[in-house]
Every structure is written in structure tokens, then in C-alpha cells.
Structure 1
Amino acid sequence: MFPLWGLGGLLVSCNNDDNNSQNPIDLLPPMTTTGENTIGCLVNGEPFTDSGLMNNFYQFVNGEYFLAINMQRGFSNDFEDASISIRRIEVHEGETYILNNNSIQNDFTGGSAGYVFSNSIESGEFETNQNYFGSITFTRFDTQNQIMSGTFEFQAEEITTGEIINITNGRFDLTFTN
């Protein structure tokens, strides 16, 4: 027969950490609109956040607008990269833009999105198109302070295999250059 103090010690040492899985959305940066230079999304349900190597811009060149949002994690042969671009369309705060173009079609008017990954086992290049597409919404688009914030999501097709990837719960709060 166990003494009661032994049973109490046994109960205290038990925990349920194994059942304490964190919601992947909670691992994304918070939604802010102050130019915090954060961006993240879920890639097929797995969190993806930028490693700090952003190159975002909104430019008016030769009478046309060009916007690019880029995020990257990793380097060299082990990386993930996602990008969103809007070409030949002026961007406005509060507006939603469809992401359904890609570089393969050589249609550079409108929105497009892509995701590329590479590791020691496999690699893939996914692009939006007329069948697999998404959207981006700008909750803040401030050209004076060069801050853009909002949400995005898209599906994209692998250019060789036809595999589909789902990018969901995307959020960004970025500074950009002109």
C-alpha cells in the first residue's frame, strides 16, 4: 500500500504536455498596421514567417504601377520563398485584388502569387493561374509613410507536376520603397 504522500507526488509529476499542441495560426505574427515589417501565412496548414530578408516595393515606372511583396525563409539549397505582385494597377487602401496571373502566361497585368521551395529531398515551384487563385486585401496602404498592411490567401499549382498548394491566413504589415 502506497502512503498518501507518494500518491500526491505521482500526481504532481504527471502533466499533459503531449496533448498541448499549439494552433499554427498562433505562430504567425499578429495583424498590425504600423509598419512592423512582419509577414506570415500557413502553407498547407504549416506556419511560414519571413526570416527578415524582405524586398518590398511599390513603384510608378513609365506610366505603370508595380507592387511586389516578398518573403523568404532559409538560404541556398534549403529555403522557402513566397511572392505576390500586382502589375499595371494602382493599389488603394481598403481594396481587394485577385491573384490569378503568372509569369508563364506572360500576362503581366493584374495580380499574381507564387511559392517556391527547395531542400535536399525535393523542390517545387507553384504559381497562381485562372484555376488556382486567391486574393490580397490592403487594410492600410499609405504611400506617404510607405506602409502596407493586410491579408492574403491563394491556391497555386506546381508548374511541372500539377500539385496544388494552399496558402491561407496570410497577413502582412510591411514598409516598402518607391
Structure 2
Amino acid sequence: MKKHLLLLLTVLPLLALTGCNNDDDNKPADPVSQLPPATQTGEDTFGCLLDGMAFKPDNRPNATNCFYQFVDGDYYFVVGASNYHTNLKGITLRTERKQIFEGETYNLFEYTEGNAVGSYTYNLTNNFTSSTYTGELTITKLDFTNHIVSGTFWFDVMDENGVVHQIREGRFDMHFTT
């Protein structure tokens, strides 16, 4: 009996030290590694860094949206994601009356016809790129047969309180509707 008690007293502290499972230890320290990989196979993923923190859509239905449509002689592209974890936050990229092409990079400017634009939504207030706060959207894949669009992006926006938000390391790999 003393042998078993001695063994337990020796093993239990070791198990306690090595068997702890802290959820924070399982999360990657680098926010970029928390983003989905930059794929081009229609994985229906979206992610970026929002002010240095990983931003991904939550699990609600319609937390992501992507379409590329030809309407009344003009092209309209939208890809975006939202997350309700603390407050409604959303990141969206779009073109207004502007065709997109695989391998092309588009400057993100004002929200006007003929431009590509980026937006950050916080509590239902949209904040758009501008001539001062700009960015870039690169279309890395545009597959009309399988309706896949993939790309990378970054941009800055100023919110209604004068705070500049940095969106970096953005990537998406989505199926689009027409």
C-alpha cells in the first residue's frame, strides 16, 4: 500500500504539471496564423487583420456574402464578412460599375461609380476608403465555370470618431453568385 501511495504522490504532481490544458496555449500567438490560408479553390473563407487582431466571420448564416453581377450593362462585385461577437463588425470590398479581372490589382478609393472601395462597418456605421485613406484589392483567381473568386486586400479607413483603422493581410476564397 505504501508503494502505491508513494507512486501516486510522485505521478500526480507530474500529471498536474503536464496535463493542464489552457485554451490560450492552444491559440497561435501570431494573429496572421489565425486567419484562413490564402487558397484559390472555393473554400468559402474570408479573413484579415483588423487593427492587428484576427477578424473572421462568425458562424451565423449569411455571415459572408459574395456576388459578381452584370446589371444594365455594368459590373458589380461584392465580397464581405461580418462578426457579431461583441458588436457588429464587417469588412466589405466592392466595385461599382467596374469589371474585375484575374491577376489585376485595384486601388481602393471613394465609394463612387467606376471605383473599387473597401469598407469597415462597426455597429451599423459604414466607413469607406477615400482619397486620403486608401488600399488595394488583388484578384488572384476569377473562375466563371466554378464561380470562384479569390483575392487579397489591405486598406485604411477613418471612422466617425476620427480613429484610423488598419485592415491588413486580407484574403478571401469564395463562391460568387451571378
Give the aligned CA root-mean-square deviation in angstroms.
2.8
Structure-2 change in CA distance of 1:30 and 1:131 (3 Å)? same
2:39 alignment partner in structure 1: 32
Once the two structures are TM-superposed, the CA of residue 143 in structure 1 deviates from its matched residue by 1.8
Shift of 1:21: 5.9
Q: How does 1:5-154 map to 2 (within 5 A)?
A: 13=17, 22-52=29-59, 53=62, 54-74=64-84, 78-102=87-111, 107-118=112-123, 125-154=126-155
Q: 1:94 to 1:21 in 2, by over 3 A?
A: closer
Q: In proportion to residue count, which structure has more helix?
A: 2
Given residue 66 of structure 1, which amino acid in structure 2 is its aligned partner?
Answer: Y
How many correspondences in the alignment? 165
Change in Cα spacing, 1:69 to 1:21, as seen in structure 2 (3 Å) is closer
CA 1:79–1:93: 2 relative to 1, 3 Å: same
Name the SS of the counterpart of 1:25 in structure 2. helix
SS at match of 2:33: helix
TM-score under structure 2 normalisation? 0.80
Bigger radius of gyration among the two: 2
Identity %: 33
Distance 1:163 1:124 in 2: 13
Structure with the higher strand share, 1 or 2: 1
Q: Distance in 2 between matches of 1:124 and 1:87?
A: 20
Structure 2 unmatched ranges of 5 or more = 1-8
Paired with 1:130 and 1:157, the residues of 2 have a C-alpha distance of 11
Helix, strand or coil for the counterpart of 1:83? strand
The runs of 4+ residues in structure 1 deviating greater than 2 Å are 12-15, 17-21, 123-126
Closer, same or farther: CA 163–124 of 1 in aligned 2, 3 Å: farther
Aligned to 2:84, the other structure's residue is in SS state strand
